[in-house]
Amino acid sequence: MNPKEFSIEDLLPHRNRMLLIERILEVNESLSVSSAVVSDHWPLVFAGSVSPIVMVELAAQTAGVNNSINRLQTRGKEDGTMGWIAGVKSAVFHMDRLPVGATLITRTQNSFAFEDFREVTGTVTWDKTVAAEITLQLVSA
C-alpha cells in the first residue's frame, strides 16, 4: 500500500482539534504507523500537558488509516471510511501526562478481523519510551 496516494483527511472523518495524527509513516495490509505532536489545541489539555486517555484516540485514528485504505482499495470510495470504537479491551498508560510539544509515534496492528469488526493492538511511544499499550475493538460503518 502506498499511503502517499491518500491524505489523512481522505482516510479519517476527524477535523480541527479532533484530528490528532499528522503524518502517516508506514502502512501495510495489517499495520499502520503514524506520528503526532501533542498540541495545546487537543482535547483533554490542562496546564501544558494532555491526559494519557487521548492515546486511545491516537490508536483508533492510526488503525483507521489502515482500515480505510484497505476499504478504499477493496470496496471503492462509495463504501466510505467511517468507523467507531466499539470497545476498549485494554489500555495501559505508562505516563500520567503527555507534555505539549512531545512527538508521539503510534503503531497499530490488526490482530483479529471478521467482516466489519477488527481487534487492534497498539503501542504509543514518546522518545523511544512506551507511553501506552492499547487494545481496541473497532467496527466499520
CATH number of the domain within which 93 lies: 3.10.129.10
- For 48, the domain range is 3-140
Q: Say whether pLDDT at 1 is over 70.
A: no
Is residue 71 within a helix (H) or strand (E), and if so which, with residue range?
A: helix 54-75
Pairing label, strands 83-93, 23-27: unpaired
- Structurally, how many domains does the chain consist of? 1
pLDDT for the residue 3:
58
Cα separation of 49 and 32, whole Å? 26
Q: pLDDT tens for residues 55-99?
A: 999 999 999 998 888 887 877 777 666 789 999 999 999 999 999
pLDDT in the model for residue 122:
98
| Strands laid side by side in the 49-50 sheet | 45-46, 49-50, 98-99
